[in-house]
Every structure is written in structure tokens, then in C-alpha cells.
């Protein structure tokens, strides 16, 4: 699968919401709780089997951490032994696995930490509802603190880009730089057409065919062809999220970002109007490098561009 780094969200062309609405399982039954969770113990087991397969395709981490936060334990994989910290945030349902191809190059210069976002499928365990952007910033801030990271460089993809920008807006002292790859709800809103196309994925009796069809449209490839795609599809199938929708940032919030920002926008993106996002990012980011890529690109290319953007570590 030739993919934009948005494969971390499961999308070359962008997926914003993906997984099903929030619930937890209890004695094999799903009930609404305000927490993300698997639809049943059996579905968690099936997802875990795919996740374990995907882990075997990742580089070997130097350490695996599960720092506790007020909202649950966050799974973090650590790579590299030296340099400044660089935190990678995948998009919805992507998990750390989606970023695996970029890790070797990044870890040669930085201490890389990949995050399975809280409230999504993966190995993080949500224990309290995440209500709004302030809660999203809090769990990420607490994660960095528990890891002993002062200021860190953040690289976020799609909804992971929104998480990174949200932390920069609310906790700017935490963020040394931002790399945002097709960041959702950051420079332009999510188009209604994407929401409409995603609706059948959430319907029980048609999701079995609607899910792969939607993912093929969003990624430009059959999800069954790669371990990232299979894990993404399993997350859509077996997990229900209970996360707030990303709230777009105001002009004032984006103008106030004082750290260096690299904004990469794919011209074929479906998570926003690419030209509108490009123009707004160029107008508002005082220390921004804004690029409109004509097509999707492999994860490795975005990692290499990020290395050219970041200071030598």
C-alpha cells in the first residue's frame, strides 16, 4: 500500500472518525458508558490477534511503557537511545503500527515515542470519559510528564495531528515543534461528504461490506493487503469509540503558535478541502512551513521531510 503518513489513521486520503461510537462490554454485552471499548471479549481477542501480528512487523522497541493518566494508561513504544524526544501520534484507529516505516530513520536522530491514543483501539486502556479538547490535552500532557519528557517535538497524522495541535494550543510550553500531516479539523473543517460515506460503516447489517469499501476509497488500497490495513480494519470492526469530535481551531489560536510548524497537506485528501487548508495554514502560521503535496506519499518520505524540518539533535 503506497500511503500518505495518514495511514497512521488508516488513510492515505484521510479518515477522521472511523471507529464505532463509544461503548464497553460487560458479560458479553455492549453498554453505553462514556468510555471507548471493544464490543465483546471475543472481539477484543480477535483484534488482539491482528495487533500481535502487526507488532511483529514493527522495529524492536527499546522499551514499552504504560504511563498512567487521569483517563487511563497510555501504551507508548520507545525507540532510539539519544537525541531530543520526538512523539508520534497516529490517526484514528491507526495505533503505533501505522507509523512503523518511519521509525528507523527518525530513531537515528531522536528518542522516538509512538503513542496508541487513549480511547481508541490498541493497547491503551481508557478508564474515564474524555469529554472535550481540554481532556484530550490533559491525558497527552500527563503522558509526556510520566515519560519524563520536558519539551518534545510532536509529529501527528490526521486526528493525531489535531491532538498534537491541541496540545500546542493549550500547553505550548510542552511543544518544541509541530509536524502536522493532513491534520484533521486544524486548518479546514471535515467535509460533510466524508461523514456521509462513513455512515454505512457503523450499520450492523451492512458494515461487513461497507467497511472495506470505505477503507479502499479512503486509502486507495485494499486494507487486506498490508498489516497496517488489516489492523485498521479490525479496529473499525471491533472497537467503539466515545471521543469528542475535534473542534476546529480559531484564527487566533493558530496565529498564537510560537513554535516551528511543518504542515503537510495532501492535494487528494478527503479529510478537508486541501486548497482551503493550505491557504489558511500559510496565512496564519507565523513560523510555518506549509506544503501542498500533489499526491499521497510513503511514510518514509514524510519521515525524511520531518528530519529536514527538525533541528539537528
pLDDT tens-digit map of 264-273? 998 777 777 7
* DSSP, res 220: S
Task: Please tell me the pTM assigned to this model.
Answer: 0.86
Q: HSE of 203 in the Cβ direction (CA atoms, 13 Å)?
A: 10
Which cell numbers hold the place of 151?
Answer: 519539551
pLDDT tens-digit map of 90-148? 988 889 999 999 999 999 999 999 999 999 999 999 999 999 999 999 999 999 999 99
Please name every residue paired with 76 in a beta bridge, in sequence order, or none if there are none: 65, 115
Q: Please give the torsion angle defined by the CA atoms of residues 154, 155, 157 and 163, in that order, rounded to the nearest 10 degrees.
A: 0
Give the per-residue pLDDT at 29. 29
175 φ, ψ to 5°? -110, 120
- Are the CB atoms for 111 and 77 separated by under 8 Å? no
**If you average pLDDT over residues 49-62, what whole number do you get?**
96
pLDDT tens-digit map of 225-281? 788 888 988 888 889 989 998 999 999 999 999 999 999 998 777 777 789 999 999
Distance from C-alpha of 204 to C-alpha of 245, rounded to nearest angstrom: 22
Top-level CATH class of 5-309? alpha beta
**Bridge pairing between strands 85-89 and 239-241:** unpaired
Nearest in space to 114 (alpha carbons), one of 101, 96, 100, 92: 96
Of the two residues 150 and 204, the one the predictor is more confident about is 150
Give the per-residue pLDDT at 18. 40
Give the per-residue pLDDT at 221. 65
Residue 22 in this model has a pLDDT that exceeds 80 = no
For the chain, what are the domain ranges? 5-309
Q: How confident is the model at residue 5 (pLDDT cuts 50, 70, 90)?
A: very low
What is the chain's mean pLDDT, rounded? 84
Amino acid at each position: 500500500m503506497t500511503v500518505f503518513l495518514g495511514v497512521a489513521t488508516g488513510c492515505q486520503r484521510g479518515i477522521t472518525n472511523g471507529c464505532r461510537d463509544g461503548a464497553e462490554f460487560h458479560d458479553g454485552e455492549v453498554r453505553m458508558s462514556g468510555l471507548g471499548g471493544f464490543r465483546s471479549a471475543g472481539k477484543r481477542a480477535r483484534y488482539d490477534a491482528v495487533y500481535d501480528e502487526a507488532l511483529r512487523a514493527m522495529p524492536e522497541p527499546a522499551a514499552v511503557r504504560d504511563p498512567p493518566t487521569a483517563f487511563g494508561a497510555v501504551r507508548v513504544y520507545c525507540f532510539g537511545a539519544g537525541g531530543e524526544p520526538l512523539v508520534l501520534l497516529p490517526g484514528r484507529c491507526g495505533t503505533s503500527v501505522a507509523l512503523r516505516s518511519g521509525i528507523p530513520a527518525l530513531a537515528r536522530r531522536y528518542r522516538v515515542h509512538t503513542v496508541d491514543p487513549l480511547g481508541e483501539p490498541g493497547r491503551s486502556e481508557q478508564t474515564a470519559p474524555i469529554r472535550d479538547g481540554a481532556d484530550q490535552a490533559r491525558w497527552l500532557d500527563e503522558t509526556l510528564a510520566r515519560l519524563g519528557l520536558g519539551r518534545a517535538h510532536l509529529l501527528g497524522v490526521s486526528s493525531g495531528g489535531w491532538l498534537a495541535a491541541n496540545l500546542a494550543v493549550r500547553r505550548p510550553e510542552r511543544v518544541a515543534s509541530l509536524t502536522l500531516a493532513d491534520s484533521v479539523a486544524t486548518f479546514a473543517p471535515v467535509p460533510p461528504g466524508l461523514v456521509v460515506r462513513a455512515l454505512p460503516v457503523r450499520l450492523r447489517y451492512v458494515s461487513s461490506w461497507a467497511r472495506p469499501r470505505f477503507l479502499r476509497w479512503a486509502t486507495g488500497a485494499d486494507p487486506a493487503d498490508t498489516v497496517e490495513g488489516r489492523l485498521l480494519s479490525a479496529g473499525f470492526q471491533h472497537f467503539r469509540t466515545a471521543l469528542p469530535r475535534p473542534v476546529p481551531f480559531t484564527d487566533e489560536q493558530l496565529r498564537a503558535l510560537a513554535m516551528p510548524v511543518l504542515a503537510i497537506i495532501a492535494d487528494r485528501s478527503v479529510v478537508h478541502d486541501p486548497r482551503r487548508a493550505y491557504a489558511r495554514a500559510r496565512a496564519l502560521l507565523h513560523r510555518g512551513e506549509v506544503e501542498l503535496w500533489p499526491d499521497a506519499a510513503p511514510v518514509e518520505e514524510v519521515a525524511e521531510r520531518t528530519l529536514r524540518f527538525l533541528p539537528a539533535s
